[in-house]
Amino acid sequence: MLTGGGTDDQCVKLASGLQQLGQKVWVAGPDGREFSKIIRALGVPFHVTPPEGLLKLRFIASAAKLIRRERIQIVHGHHGRDIWPTILAAKLSGMKSKVVLTRHMAKSPGSGFSRSFMLGRCDALIAVSHFVEKVLREGVYEPDSPEQERRSRPPVQGDHRKIQVIYGGIDTARFRPLDAEKQRAELGLQPDDYALAVAGGYGLPRGKGQREFLQAAARMHEKVPRARFLIIGRGNMAEILKADIARLGLSGKAWLTPYFTDMPRVMNAIDCLVHPQIGTEAFGLVVCEAHACGKPVIASSLDGIPEAFALGNLGQLVPPESIEELARAMELWAGKPGLSMDARQVMHAAAAKRLSFLTSTSHTLELYHALNARTV
């Protein structure tokens, strides 16, 4: 789609990583989008697809032409909406290309048809966490969850041996410990403030737990006078969140910041990342990005988040939607000193070894080679 978000980011990182590892790679997608500019800036060959057309037939035909012209061996689809266009483009090309799909979401494909036949039409299905693998293999059911999307996540049918777990990667060359005093001032923070922040989009109906974050802040801010509460991101809930800040008595202590493209600098400017996710979460790369900067994380213990948290293990997991537990954790960590720069560098080194996007790319390339070897 290339409009932004975690799936597009991971797709582009993979393409860039494959190119750095000496592979010939293209990204196919629409032009004039946020990530089409990033692809060009990275020097990755970009095949511009036409408007999708009825049943996405123009998109499929254009992608098939690219596959045939460049004799592409691996066709890799990332968005759920592109499952069948990827499969059909590979088939239409006549190249007998291997088809790889990645599931970036902690829920089943929405279509019963896809759940029944997708696995039989691809050569490998990558799950970005062991939790996503569990959803795909076994299904996950939480009928009493307040979130409708969490209540029923049925498995996919077919040969489950095709499912492989490969964690996504982060840019550890950018997400690393930095001196961010200037960025703190730009965020409106004073030198002695302790900044707890939620980073991510806030789209209706509930965002990523920003309203719960503010409710927790209202419970503990008087006990920690130097605590400040930042909501970093963009979305269509801005007016709702501003009203919450006023209603909860947090004016001057909590505020929304503009959207920043330099998130590594922002991550270094805060003192603690809060990730109070309430919906589904496949893995939680933002948790890894904070840990790579040597920052503690307070996060919901749901879906794939504990896997991401365990790779850094600094901070605290709390039950999802528990305002009381979230407030207690925020109060606790606001009373702790931050890590020294040396300790932060040690955390970063561990993150770089396990979570760099080149590490993730290498694992994906190994899978590609294994699939191609089957035809030799």
Tens of pLDDT along 121-170? 999 999 999 999 999 999 999 999 988 899 999 999 999 999 999 999 99
Are 156 and 20 found together in one domain? Answer: yes
Are 336 and 369 found together in one domain? Answer: no
Asked whether the predicted pLDDT for residue 376 surpasses 80, the reply is no
Are 138 and 244 found together in one domain? Answer: no
Report the percent of the chain where pLDDT is more than 70: 99
- Confidence band (pLDDT; 50, 70, 90) for 1? confident
Instruction: Output the pLDDT for position 5.
Output: 84
The residues, any chain, with a CB within 8 Å of residue 345's CB and separated by 6 or more, are: 177, 294
Are 16 and 96 found together in one domain? Answer: yes
Are 86 and 233 found together in one domain? Answer: no
Across residues 305-322, what is the average pLDDT? 96
> How high is the mean pLDDT of the chain?
95
Are 195 and 127 found together in one domain? Answer: no
Looking at 15-19, 104-108, 259-263, 328-332, which range is the least confident one?
259-263
Instruction: Output the pLDDT for position 261.
Output: 81
Instruction: Output the pLDDT for position 233.
Output: 92
Instruction: Output the pLDDT for position 246.
Output: 98
Are 135 and 200 found together in one domain? Answer: no
Asked if residue 176 is part of any domain, the answer here is no
Asked if residue 98 is part of any domain, the answer here is yes
Are 232 and 186 found together in one domain? Answer: yes
CB-CB contact of 244 with 205 (8 Å): no
Asked if residue 1 is part of any domain, the answer here is no
Asked if residue 302 is part of any domain, the answer here is yes
3-class DSSP state of 304: coil
Q: What Cα–Cα distance (Å) separates residue 223 from each residue in 254, 294, 326?
A: 15, 25, 14
Asked if residue 175 is part of any domain, the answer here is no
DSSP-assigned states of every residue in 146-196: SSHHHHEEPPPPS-GGGEEE----B-TTTSS----HHHHHHTT--TT-EEE
What's the gap between Cα 235 and its chain centre?
16
Asked whether the predicted pLDDT for residue 264 surpasses 80, the reply is yes
Q: How far apart (Å, rounded) are the C-alpha atoms in residues 289 and 8? A: 17
Are 162 and 223 found together in one domain? Answer: no
Q: What Cα–Cα distance (Å) separates residue 8 from each residue in 1, 24, 184?
A: 7, 19, 29
Are 240 and 142 found together in one domain? Answer: no
- Confidence band (pLDDT; 50, 70, 90) for 374? confident
- Confidence band (pLDDT; 50, 70, 90) for 98? very high
Are 255 and 186 found together in one domain? Answer: yes
Provide the 8-state DSSP code for 54: G
The conformational region for residue 94 under phi > 0 = left, psi -120 to 50 = alpha, else beta, is left
CB-CB contact of 46 with 15 (8 Å): no
Provide the edge-to-edge strand list for the sheet that holds 163-165: 74-77, 98-103, 124-127, 163-165
Report the percent of the chain where pLDDT is more than 90: 93
Asked if residue 174 is part of any domain, the answer here is no
The residues, any chain, with a CB within 8 Å of residue 49's CB and separated by 6 or more, are: 28, 29, 30, 58, 59, 62, 63
Q: How far apart (Å, rounded) are the C-alpha atoms in residues 21 and 302? A: 34
Residue 285's CATH number: 3.40.50.2000
Instruction: Output the pLDDT for position 364.
Output: 98
- Confidence band (pLDDT; 50, 70, 90) for 375? low
Instruction: Output the pLDDT for position 125.
Output: 98
Tens of pLDDT along 43-77? 999 999 999 888 999 999 999 999 999 999 999 99
Asked if residue 346 is part of any domain, the answer here is yes
Strand 297-300, strand 315-318: pairing: parallel
CB-CB contact of 275 with 296 (8 Å): no
Asked if residue 20 is part of any domain, the answer here is yes
Give the residue among 240, 280, 333, 290 at the shortest CA–CA distance from 107. Answer: 280
Instruction: Output the pLDDT for position 146.
Output: 87
Are 96 and 145 found together in one domain? Answer: yes
- By residue range, what is the domain housing residue 149? 6-169+357-373
Tens of pLDDT along 186-238? 999 999 999 999 999 999 999 999 999 999 999 999 999 999 999 999 999 99
What's the gap between Cα 150 and its chain centre?
18
CB-CB contact of 327 with 219 (8 Å): yes
**Domains in the chain, number:** 2
